Structure formats: C-alpha cells, structure tokens
Structure 1
Amino acid sequence: MTIAEWCIFGTLMLYLLTIASVKWIGFRRFDNARPRDPAFYNDPLRSRALGAHQNGIEAFPFFAVAVLLAEFRTGPQRLIDELAVLFLIVRIAYVLTYLGDRPTLRSILWSIGFAINLAIFFMPMLRGFWPV
C-alpha cells in the first residue's frame, strides 16, 4: 500500500475517533441504546465534536476518490503521497480547531484541505506539466 492509501485509512479513523472519544469520555451520560439522542449533544464540546465528525464524513469520499483516481491515472506517486499526508495533517488541525471553538481558523483549514483535494484530483490531468 502507498502512503496516500494509508492516509485514506487515517482520515477514516480520524472522523471515527472524533466522535468515539466524546462518547467514551461522556460514557455515564451516553446511552448506547439511543446513540443519536440529541440531548447528549446539548453540551457545547459534544456538539462541536459531532460537527467535526459529520464534516469528516462529508470530506472523506472526495479525498478517497481523489487519491485513488490520481494513483489509477498514474500521477506522480511521491507528490500524491506528500499531498495526502498534508491533507491528513490539515484534517487533524481542523478537528482540533473545531473542538477548540476556533471558527475562523477552522474555516481556513477547511479551505486548505479542499484545495489539497482539488490538487490531488486534477493531478492526472496536469501530469504532463509536472517536473517529476
């Protein structure tokens, strides 16, 4: 497996751990019989964790498809790997800013992550222009 493919797995684990950790920390109040109970998410931190989790679910498909398409269409693997690692780092920072209630920085990080996804996605189209 390539580094970029491991980053797909890492991105998946990130959005799962974002919500699992909040449920684990609040285990005395979390009712597994009603895992989507809105009352559990009334707490501001839990609410932000849910938002970060949901955004991770939204961001994951585009990232996974972009990486796999770039690899399938023989984009420069080293660049794909580097951008995938950068995307994962940006996503980790995004989750931390979401949990830390830093909306402006969070939006900037989201935009950077989306730009990275676009770069990976369109990399095969531009491969003739890459110096590698």
Structure 2
Amino acid sequence: MNPSALPEFTIAYWCVLVAALLPFLCGLLAKRSGVGKRRADGGYDNHNPRAWLARQEGESARANAAQANGFEALPFFIGAVIIAHQLGAPQSRLDWLAVAFVALRVVYIGLYVGDKATARSLVWGLALAVNIAILFSGYR
C-alpha cells in the first residue's frame, strides 16, 4: 500500500491517547500518599490495591474518584472522535474540540483533587458539551 494513501493520525486521535492516559495519572496521584510506607503503617498495598484505595480519604480518595470518572468519560469521547472522523467533520474543528476536551479534563482533575466541587461540576458539564459538539461536528 502506498504510504501517502494511509490515513493521517490526527490531533484528535492523539487526544484520544492523552485522554486514555489521564485516568492512570489520577491513579498515581491517588496512590502517592502510600508510596514509601510499609503496608502495616498504611502504605500502599499492591496485593489488594482496590481495598487500599477504598480506605483512602481526602486528596487520595478524590484522585481515585477522578480516575474512575476518567474511565467513565473515555468511551463517549473515543466514540465521538471516531464518529466525527467517519462523518467527515472538518478536521481543524474536530482537532480543536478534542484538545478542548482534554484540557477541560485536565482542569477537572485538578479541581477534583483540589476539592473544588462546584467548579469541578461546571467543568465536567463543559467537557460533556464539548464531547457532544465533537459527536455532531460531522453532522450534515
């Protein structure tokens, strides 16, 4: 196959990769308070990580919740980007919307971990609206 005939890996596709990695960043944030401590002293328990995370409070618990929400938001974002590409959405619009979604998700994580509940919910709603805009960006 002619390499120039291959589809381009767009900015929106790169955003899918970044969005897929963000929950793992949240997981690292959630676990950092237990790193370097012995399990007997409340340190991170890699033998039973979900139970350990469930016992966490404050910033670690919020980072874990942000991780779960990141995984929950991911399928819609991936689907919206793929559908928009399939429908022939203007690439520059799709790329900008995808970057906006990822940027909003990064802000969302910061607000969640920082315990800014009202602002976090507003940013969550904006990210959802951007995701809907991505989905319909190729609609004719």
Q: Same fold (TM over 0.5)?
A: yes
Distance in 2 of aligned mates of 1:109 and 1:18? 17
Give the 3-state SS of the residue equivalent to 2:46 in structure 1: coil
What is the Cα deviation at residue 72 of structure 1? Answer: 1.3
Identify the residue that residue 66 of structure 2 maps to in structure 1.
52
When normalised by structure 2's length, the TM-score is: 0.85
Q: Which runs of 4+ in 1 moved over 6 A?
A: none
Identify the residue that residue 5 of structure 1 maps to in structure 2.
13
How many residues are matched? Answer: 126
What is the Cα deviation at residue 73 of structure 1? Answer: 1.2
Aligned equivalent of 1:14, options 22, 26, 29: 22
Identify the residue that residue 88 of structure 1 maps to in structure 2.
102
What is the Cα deviation at residue 38 of structure 1? Answer: 4.6
Contact 1:97 1:105 in 2 (8 A): yes
1:14-62 per-position Cα deviation (integer Å, ceiling 9, x unaligned): 1111112332442221110001015664321111011100100110000
Give the 3-state SS of the residue equivalent to 2:47 in structure 1: coil
Distance in 2 of aligned mates of 1:2 and 1:112? 23
1:65-107 per-position Cα deviation (integer Å, ceiling 9, x unaligned): 0001101111101100000001100000000000000000000
User: Which segments of 5 or more consecutive residues in structure 2 lack a partner in the other structure?
Assistant: 1-8, 38-42
Cα-Cα RMSD: 1.4
Once the two structures are overlaid, the 10-residue window that deviates more, 28-37 or 92-101, is 28-37
Identify the residue that residue 119 of structure 1 maps to in structure 2.
133
Q: State the identity as a percent.
A: 37
Q: Greater CA radius of gyration, 1 or 2? A: 2
Identify the residue that residue 3 of structure 2 maps to in structure 1.
none
Q: 1:67 to 1:26 in 2, by over 3 A?
A: same
Contact 2:29 2:60 in 1 (8 A): no
Contact 1:4 1:85 in 2 (8 A): yes
When normalised by structure 1's length, the TM-score is: 0.90
Distance in 2 of aligned mates of 1:76 and 1:20? 36
